[in-house]
Amino acid sequence: MSTTLEIVRIPVLNDNYVWLMREPQSGAVGVIDPAVAGPVLAEAARRRWKITHILNTHHHGDHVGGNREIKEATGCTIVGPRRDRARIPGIDIEVDDGDRYRFGEAEAEVFFVPGHTSGHIAFAFREQKALFCGDTLFALGCGRLFEGTAAQMWTSLGRLRALPDDMRVYCAHEYTQSNARFALTVETDNTRLQERSAAIDAARARGEATVPSLLGEEKATNPFLRADVPAVQRAVGLSDGDPVAVFAAVRHRKDVFR
- Catalytic residue IDs: 58, 60, 62-63, 116, 135, 173
Distance separating alpha carbons of residues 59 and 51, to the nearest angstrom: 20
Q: Residue 111 forms beta bridges with which residues? A: 122
Residue 120 three-state SS: coil
Amino acid letter, residue 109:
E
Burial 122-141 (b: 16+ CB within 10 A, else e): bbbbeebbbbbbbbbbbbbb
User: For residue 24, how many other CB atoms are within 10 A of its CB?
Assistant: 13
Phi and psi angles of residue 115, each rounded to the nearest 5 degrees, phi first? 145, -65
User: For residue 191, how many other CB atoms are within 10 A of its CB?
Assistant: 10
* Nearest Cα residue to 252 out of 159, 153, 170: 153
